[in-house]
Amino acid sequence: MDFNVEAIRKDFPILKREVNGKPLIYLDNAATSQTPQQVIDVIVDYYSNYNANIHRGVHALSQEATDAYENARRKIQKHFNAQHPYEIIFTSGTTHSINVVANGFASLLKEGDEVIVSALEHHSNIVPWQMLCEKTGASLKVIPMSLEGELVLSEYDALLNETTKLVFVNHISNALGTINPIKTIIEKAHSVGAAVLVDGAQACPHLKPNVQELDVDFYVCSAHKICGPTGIGMLYGKQEWLKKLPPYQGGGEMISEVTFEKTTYADLPHKFEAGTPNVCGGIAFGAAIDYMNTIGFDAIANYENELLEYATSELLKIEGIKIYGTSKNKTSVISFNIGNIHPYDLGTLLDKMGVAVRTGQHCAQPIMDFYQIPGTVRASFMFYNTKEEIDLFIVALKKSIMMLS
């Protein structure tokens, strides 16, 4: 069966709009994805019909909102194949999730301990760990990358030892699209007793992770990259870890008993969900997962691979192009530069022609430093993009290059 992209595009109202008098060609999906009507409807329905605070009210609206929120948690649990619903913590997104874990480990690490990061990380999977190291005296080691944009696993082996406590790595690089061999990375970390956090922000739009099969300790993502709203995401943690880590924020909802002498914390997941959560966001996150599953992740992967291959071969016909990130194992993200043209200039001209791409460092300055470049132009594709859009993008790109050279 052919992938019916035209039917899918009808789900996304924003794809009908124009930018600078041209039809929008949205190729900045690695920064945020667009939202289908099915998810927008859920948001409108929530605020129109059952907006309420949750877990505390005895009234009908509060019950309905609580049920919908907890139902979303179970959907997410099933999607990621977590063992228990309370292993899914709602957060404001990937960055928040990583900070919850980094903050928790501050009480578990001491001087002389080591933590390992990869050269391919987003700033949000670097900075919280540097802050953790400063607090605890632990030291940060880096798995280096190759010119193809792959992690050098033999170097990883050399870094691992019994002082390694934690490894954090992304599943897919947002800057280059490389799919990292996280199963191997996790196995090796576990062989020395280290825990692993996988930043799945860039993977979840393209594949369906199975946290039990991966045996990963922590897995994090943001709803806005998988057709959900901003301001909501999740932290999956194995229950033994989540029980061990102290809470991140204190407040309402996360306590069991409060006196001025001592407070005891609530059970999971509430221990990590202080204050009134993003109720509507959580429910819409569940709806986004439903939507993606209706399309199906096998179909998504097949189609996006076609787009990736097509766009790569068309781009390679352009004189002076250099594509960064050439792993055979990559997803639909293409980072490139053309000769000496500054990526920002290309991005600005492309925008004038309705094409949205990302330019700059993509929150991954160490990768840009590795290639000794100020940044790249990044085109990233989702299942609602088309070959026709890629053709128009290439035409716009050629026009921009002419204007700039």
- Among the residue ranges 101-109, 199-207, 351-359, 386-394, the one whose residues contact ligand PLP (CB under 6 A): 199-207
Residue 296: CB minimum distance to ligand PLP, A: 22
Q: Sort strands 355-356 and 25-26 into parallel, antiparallel or unpaired.
A: parallel
Task: Please pick, from the candidates 202, 332, 359, 376, the single residue that binds ligand PLP as defined by CB under 6 A.
Answer: 202
302's tokens: 């097949």
Report the alpha-carbon distance of residue 350 to residue 345 in Å, rounded: 9
Residue 258 identity:
V
How open is the CA angle 28-32-38, to the nearest 5 degrees?
115
Residue 155: CB minimum distance to ligand PLP, A: 21
Residues 213-252 that bind ligand PLP (CB under 6 A): 222
141's tokens: 């080691």
Q: Cis omega before residue 343 (within 30°)?
A: no
Nearer to ligand PLP, 265 or 297 (CB): 297
Q: Applying CB under 6 A, does 93 fall inside the site for ligand PLP?
A: yes
Closest CA to 168 of 137, 205, 131: 131
Nearer to ligand PLP, 66 or 174 (CB): 174
Nearer to ligand PLP, 95 or 278 (CB): 95
Q: Applying CB under 6 A, does 180 fall inside the site for ligand PLP?
A: no
Residue 174: CB minimum distance to ligand PLP, A: 3
Task: Please pick, from the candidates 29, 33, 35, 95, the single residue that binds ligand PLP as defined by CB under 6 A.
Answer: 95
Q: Applying CB under 6 A, does 288 fall inside the site for ligand PLP?
A: no
For CA atoms 5, 327, 170, 336, the dihedral sign is negative
Q: Applying CB under 6 A, does 34 fall inside the site for ligand PLP?
A: no
Report the alpha-carbon distance of residue 256 to residue 195 in Å, rounded: 28
Q: Binding-site residue total for ligand PLP (CB under 6 A)?
A: 12
Report the alpha-carbon distance of residue 120 to residue 112 in Å, rounded: 24
Residue 129: CB minimum distance to ligand PLP, A: 13
CB neighbourhood size of 219 (10 A): 28
Task: Please pick, from the candidates 29, 33, 34, 94, the single residue that binds ligand PLP as defined by CB under 6 A.
Answer: 94
Residues 3-22 that bind ligand PLP (CB under 6 A): none
- In the DSSP assignment, the letter for residue 251 is S
Task: Please pick, from the candidates 122, 165, 188, 330, the single residue that binds ligand PLP as defined by CB under 6 A.
Answer: 122
Helix (H) or strand (E) holding 229: none
Map residue 324 onto helix, strand or coil: strand
Map residue 24 onto helix, strand or coil: coil
Nearer to ligand PLP, 232 or 315 (CB): 232
Q: Among all residues, which ones are annotated catalytic?
A: 363
Q: Applying CB under 6 A, does 361 fall inside the site for ligand PLP?
A: no
Task: Please pick, from the candidates 29, 118, 170, 331, the single residue that binds ligand PLP as defined by CB under 6 A.
Answer: 170
Closest CA to 334 of 102, 152, 174, 128: 174
| Residues at the contact surface with ligand PLP, assessed by CB under 6 A | 93-95, 122, 124-125, 170, 174, 199, 201-202, 222
